[in-house]
Structures are given as structure tokens and as C-alpha cells.
Amino acid sequence: MTKDNKQTQNQVQVQTEQQVQVQTLSPQQVMLVRLTEMPLEALQQRIENECLENPWLEKAPSDPSQGGEYADDAPSPLERDGERLADTYDYRSEDDIPDYMLRPSYTKNTPENVEYGDTLSFYDQLKAQMSDFDLTERQQMLLEYMIGELDGNGLLGKPLIQIVDEAEIYQGIETSEKEMLGVLAILQQFEPAGIGARSLQECLILQIKRDENNPAQRLMLQVMEKYYDDFLHKRWERIQQKLKLSNIQVEELKREIKRLNPRPGSSMGERSVVIGHQITPDFIVDTDEDGHISMQLNVGNTPALIISPDATEKLEAYEKQKDQQLSKAMQEDIRFTREYVERGQLFIEALAQRRESMIRTMNAIIKLQRPFFLEGDDTLLKPMKLEDVAPLAGYDISTVSRVCNSKYVQTPFGIYSLKHFFTHKAAQKDDADAATSKQVMAAIQDLIDAEDKQHPLSDEKLAVLLKQKGYDVARRTIAKYREAMKIPIARMRK
């Protein structure tokens, strides 16, 4: 063996070290993430459940004179650096940034159920999400077809090859299994997580992967990917042994998995019924003739929470006996009490932080979209992204996204989802100001309303006329907007 060969052989095994930064969320951060995502009705139910599970968490007296978390004579958990956070804000001009001055609004009467005009079907809700993706016309067509193939649970019960065959037979659409797999990957990014799954296992895995902030994510994925059969047959002892988990870890794992929804489509169906009849707005915005805008956080029936005085007294009594020999039962009682008191305090603090993030985010949206809140005209909406709201609200993009998820605001002009105010640049006007898709659609509507009904305008002609108005919009973009507005093609408008 030559010297060079010996050196090569000795260099085969190389030990390397690599620094990897892993972000771990604290239990309070995880709790805050989940509470922030909840709309008002879900939050109220979550609070009820927490009060049932925690023996030392109580609803504060409704009379402020009797004390309580938000009583006038008690320090508010929202007090921060000498400032206090208000439930209600007033705006006089676009430059007004409201001072954080506390005005408790828990005793104010706010509407809990408000009529909402539009009814969104399961299919429409999914189709509406297509605009969030940069899709080609063909991808849109295939995606619409695939959405139509979902069952009532939001799952894809047919093999892809069968969908490919049926698309050609019944719709004249020629495609391939590979192409439909790519379309399915897009569909599985829709909300809620789990939509478009081909099996229960895939449905649960999709939801787990989406929940990146969950500390139990890695273990949950291991259970679903490696020990799914054991999970399906509830062989938790075997799972515990294979993953080398403690009893506490197993119980926590079970709780987290129970949070997953095996029928994501059915939850959308329930939501569409609610939207069709009544919803609970999370914010109430009002205006007057003087250009005065006020915003109030709707707290509904959400109670203020306190830690039971009995728990505090018990811990103080134990503290006086700390030098004495305590029985095993008394030590266990202390541990139990402290654990649930700390859990209750974390929950109360997370609720306060949620309330602050909700108000600050809504403040930022009102400031950025002030003309709309004064007039109620969609064409006045400015292009706005999460990146625009985040610095003004003082949070990162992910927090703003959670605040805006499934939240609604009541205005004098109707009830709107917060996502309604996030508009993207659709074209460039002559003055270089950004135009939103809603402005372009309004211009299309004006042109079609004024067209000669014997010779309706084609999409190509609309593109030319829009360019003359300062909107540089492609023909296929016009076709997309026209379809979204439910306006038929030119020959069907005669």
C-alpha cells in the first residue's frame, strides 16, 4: 500500500462540530400564540374550559368596587412602562397615534351577534383562497376541479389517477398524475390545515407540520410517521417504550394530538353557516361627521380572571411552616397548589398580552387605511401587507398574522374580515401610485356598466381602456378579476 493510499484511508472518517441555533418557545409563549389566533367566541369557550380545569382560577366579581383583575383600584396587567392600554381609541387626524390610557370597557354593552350578508359555501371559501397564490390559468382550472373532488370532511377520498381519468372523461381536461400532485401540494397549503389530505394520517401530519411553534411537534410527527398503527390502536405503552417518554410526556402528547381536527372540512362547513347568519365582531369601529374614528375591542361575555384568594392564603400558610417537617400529603398539596396557581397566572398574563396585541394591531390597520374607515369605499383601500402593519403595531409579522386570522371588525358600512384590508399592488397608475386589485375591479365595473350592450367589451378591449385610465393590467388578469366579480364573458353579456 502506498503512502498516498494510507493517507486517503486515514482521512475517510472526519469528526465535525456544527453550531445549530434552535428557538424554543416558553409555555407562556405557546399559550399566547394559541390565544391570539382565537376569535372572540373561541376565546370565551377557552376561558370557560380553563376555569373548569384550574381549581384556583376564578372569574372576578363583576362589580369593580369588589376588586378584580380590571377594577379601577387594582393595577392592570396591561400597564407597561408607565403607559396603560385602552379598549377604546379616538382618531382626529391621520397623524394621531393614540396614547395608551386605560378605560375599562368590560361593563360596556357591545353587540355580540351581528347579521352578515354574504353566505360562503365550503367550495367558495376554498376557491377564495386561490387569490393568495401566484397561479397560472391552468393551475387555477385544475385547482378548482380538485376542490370540487373533496368530500364533506375536506379530504381527497379518490386516488389521483382516478381524478386524472375522470377529469378527462367528464370535463375534457387532459392532465397527468404528476401535474395533479403538484396542484395538490398547493391545495394542502390552504386553511384550515389538513385540507386536501388523502388519508387521516396525512391529515394529522399536515396539521402538525403547520404548527411550528408547538414544542411537542417533533414527538407528534414521530408518532404519526413511525408509530401510526400503534396510535390508531391506542397502544400508548408501546409508543412510550419506543420513544422513551415519561408518563407526563405521554399525557401531554395525548392532549396535543386531541387538539387536531380529523375533519377540517366539516369545521369550514360549520363556519360557513355562522358567517351566513351571524358572527361576533372582535372590534367595533365608529365614525362621525367630523372625521373622528373610534375603535373598541369587543370583549363580549369574556370575564376578568383572578387567582383565588384561598390559594394565596394556603401558600402563605405553608410558607410560614417551611422550617417544619411536613408530611408527604402536605408536600404534594403544596406542589399541586403552586402548579395551578402558576398556570393560572400565566393564563391571565397571556390574555392581557393578547388583548394588547389585538388593540395595537387594529390601531395600525386603522391608521394605514383611514380613508376607508371614513368613507367605506373599497377603492380607497391602499396596498397593505403584513410587513406594513408589523412595525407600526410594534410586533413581528407572525404576531400580526395571528391577530388577523379569523377576526372581524364591525364598521358603519358593514362587517369585514381583517384580511379584507390587506390588498396587494395590482397595477401602476400614471402618477406611479400603487393601485389595488379592488380599484382595478371598480374601474372594470365602470367600463362594463357604460359599454354598448350590443357590442360588449372583450377582455382585450378592457385592457386597452384600462391602460388609458392609467392601469397597466394584462388580459388574463382582467379575466381573473371579471370572473371574481361574477361578470360573464363579452358574448354572454349581449
Q: Phi/psi zone of residue 82: left (φ > 0), alpha (ψ -120 to 50 degrees), beta?
A: left
- With 90 as the cut, is the pLDDT of residue 137 above it? no
Nearest to 190 by CA among 259, 138, 257, 123: 123
| Poorest-pLDDT segment among 177-181, 317-321, 369-373, 397-401 | 317-321
> Cβ(126)–Cβ(184) under 8 Å?
no
- With 90 as the cut, is the pLDDT of residue 492 above it? no
pLDDT at 115: 35
User: Cell 417504550 maps to which residue?
Assistant: 241
- With 80 as the cut, is the pLDDT of residue 443 above it? yes
pLDDT at 375: 84
- With 50 as the cut, is the pLDDT of residue 447 above it? yes
In one letter, which amino acid is 6?
A: K
Segments in 227-326 forming alpha helices (H): 228-232, 236-243, 247-258, 264-277, 309-320
3-state secondary structure of 128: helix
Residue 89's Cβ-count burial label (10 Å; 0-12, 13-18, 19+) is buried
Give residue 90's pLDDT band: very low, low, confident or very high (50, 70, 90): very low
Q: Phi/psi zone of residue 414: left (φ > 0), alpha (ψ -120 to 50 degrees), beta?
A: left
- Section 341-367 average pLDDT: 92
Give residue-wise pLDDT tens across range 186-213.
Answer: 999 998 889 999 999 999 999 999 888 8
Q: Which domains does the chain have, with CATH numbers?
A: 30-113+280-423 (no CATH), 200-260 (no CATH), 425-493 (1.10.10.60)
DSSP annotation of 83 reads: B
Give residue-wise pLDDT tens across range 145-173.
Answer: 898 888 878 899 888 988 888 777 656 78
- Section 247-271 average pLDDT: 79
For the chain, the average pLDDT equals: 76
- With 80 as the cut, is the pLDDT of residue 432 above it? no
Give residue 80's pLDDT band: very low, low, confident or very high (50, 70, 90): very low
pLDDT at 109: 31
- Section 463-483 average pLDDT: 80
Give residue-wise pLDDT tens across range 379-409.
Answer: 788 888 888 899 999 998 888 888 987 788 9
Give residue-wise pLDDT tens across range 293-306.
Answer: 999 999 888 888 99
Nearest to 341 by CA among 313, 379, 381: 313
Nearest to 267 by CA among 180, 203, 325, 358: 203
3-state secondary structure of 434: strand
Q: Which of 35-39, 271-275, 320-324 has the largest mean confidence?
A: 35-39
pLDDT at 329: 81
- Section 253-278 average pLDDT: 67
